[in-house]
Amino acid sequence: MQKPSIPKGTRDFSPEEMAKRNYIFNTISEVFRLYGFQQIETPAMENLSTLMGKYGEEGDKLLFKILNSGDCLSGITDEELIARNPVRFAAKACEKGLRYDLTVPFARYVVQHRNEISFPFKRYQIQPVWRADRPQKGRYREFYQCDGDVVGSDSLMNEVELIQIMDEVFHRFGIRVCIKMNNRKILTGIAEVIGAADKIVDITVAIDKLDKIGLENVNEELRSKGLSEEAIERLRPIILLQGSNQEKLVTLKKVLADSEVGLKGVSELEFILERISHTPIRAELEVDLTLARGLNYYTGAIFEVKALDVQIGSITGGGRYDNLTGVFGMEGVSGVGFSFGADRIFDVLNQLNLYPEDSLKTTQLLFVNFGQREETYLLPLLAQVRKAGIRTELYPEPAKMKKQMGYADAKRIPFVAIVGENEIAAGKINLKNMLTGEQTLLSLEELIERFA
């Protein structure tokens, strides 16, 4: 018989991995709740009519589709079958698909439950998503997303709050980060003033290369993308943009003096930086014009978080959007949101070994099982130890001492309690520290005290 396996790109999570993941998700949840965010969950399966067309043509191909139950082939003609068009076939044989992200289901949720929701709606959601991507290192076909959004409010105070949340989360993790900020309106303004509205992406890509290839080569690249000499000249102060956030904003205001939308973007950034200066922020904050994520989607602020001590892509990102739910017929729902990259945070915490010891501890105390008489003696005692909140096991059978100790070792249980004939006679518990080997004779009260 073949050893069973799981589909490629999916994972089992072992007890240790689960402890780590629970630590991550619990920390994020706690901070979200501290700021008044509420959790929702949506079903794994959505109607394909909800999902299709929302992620581009490529995205449609990456949706996992669920075969209709019952007679999946009814309603398909022989001709259609033999035509062997997989896309058209799936459209007839599948009504449902697995969610691809948490944004579209959230938009669907907002529209469907609009009458129950009190806006501004601050929601967070931590659930797996599925993508039929080619699996590769660090890319999975099932992975968790961890999204927070505020919808139904245009106030930039929401952006301020999201920055506070990112800062607090990474502070709690002990990960030093830089929160990079940009604004879609600034990018639009730049394109406007150089007369190349369609070149935003080329420009940000070029700016990003300055450190590596130098100004001359950047300009060469821009030329090759069709930018005029005049445009390249105007771009120069933006490509060479340096200094503090304040200095950058001053330069930008000069360059964007003729662009209303550009100046709007600068003033939004200014507002956010001013407000955030009134609260204790541990992260670095950096205005970074190369941030161009979600360009087709974001309309205002754009965020990205980079870990300072680990070479890894962005570990969190987000931004403001104008129209979350228009595609479902509900106009005017703007919002701002972001997504923690759970898998990458997991990797960073692993690399820097930042998990608090306590978050990985499972059982704190194992009672050795010496046999029938001791079992009976220990049961009421165990009840008291557990009542004190101490995570405790009694080995389920009187196996050899070596086996029981091996179990404690494998499970990294830090203390073992030995209660044999002598200890019963003395009314004591022999507590062994598995790390030091030290043994101490304690009363039940003293034992509980030890773990308090």
Is 38 annotated among the ligand-binding residues?
no
Partnered with residue 156 across adjacent β-strands are none
- Is residue 143 a contact partner of residue 101, using CB atoms and an 8 Å limit? no
- Is residue 10 a contact partner of residue 142, using CB atoms and an 8 Å limit? yes
From the list 339, 340, 320, 305, the residue with the least C-alpha distance to 157 is 320
Q: Which is nearer to its own copies, 30 or 284 (CB)?
A: 30
Q: Which residues contact 442 (CB under 8 A, 6 or more apart)?
A: 428, 429, 430, 431, 450
Is 103 annotated among the ligand-binding residues?
yes
Q: How many residues bind its own copies (CB under 8 A)?
A: 109
Regarding 13 and contact with its own copies (CB under 8 A), the answer is yes
Q: How far is the CB of 298 from its own copies (least distance, A)?
A: 19
- CA 16 vs. chain centroid, Å, equals 19
Q: How far is the CB of 109 from its own copies (least distance, A)?
A: 6
Q: Which is nearer to its own copies, 30 or 233 (CB)?
A: 30
Distance from C-alpha of 30 to C-alpha of 52, rounded to nearest angstrom = 34
Is 131 annotated among the ligand-binding residues?
yes
Distance from C-alpha of 71 to C-alpha of 217, rounded to nearest angstrom = 61
Binding to its own copies (CB under 8 A) within 335-364 occurs at 362-363
Binding to its own copies (CB under 8 A) within 108-127 occurs at 108-109, 111-113, 116, 118, 120, 122-123
Of 20, 28, 60, 64, the one binding its own copies (CB under 8 A) is 64
Distance from C-alpha of 267 to C-alpha of 257, rounded to nearest angstrom = 12
Binding to its own copies (CB under 8 A) within 159-188 occurs at 160-161, 164, 168
Q: How far is the CB of 129 from its own copies (least distance, A)?
A: 10
Regarding 98 and contact with its own copies (CB under 8 A), the answer is yes
- Is residue 176 a contact partner of residue 307, using CB atoms and an 8 Å limit? yes
Regarding 1 and contact with its own copies (CB under 8 A), the answer is yes
Q: How far is the CB of 228 from its own copies (least distance, A)?
A: 42
In this structure, the number of other CB atoms found within 10 A of the CB of residue 105 comes to: 23
Binding to its own copies (CB under 8 A) within 292-331 occurs at 328-329
Q: Which is nearer to its own copies, 272 or 302 (CB)?
A: 272
Which DSSP state fits 199?
G
Regarding 439 and contact with its own copies (CB under 8 A), the answer is no
From the list 62, 23, 42, the residue with the least C-alpha distance to 127 is 42
- Rounded to 5 degrees, φ, ψ at 312 are -160, 155
Regarding 25 and contact with its own copies (CB under 8 A), the answer is no
Q: How far is the CB of 107 from its own copies (least distance, A)?
A: 8
Regarding 379 and contact with its own copies (CB under 8 A), the answer is yes
The annotation places the binding site for L-histidine at 101-103, 131, 145, 149, 293, 297-298
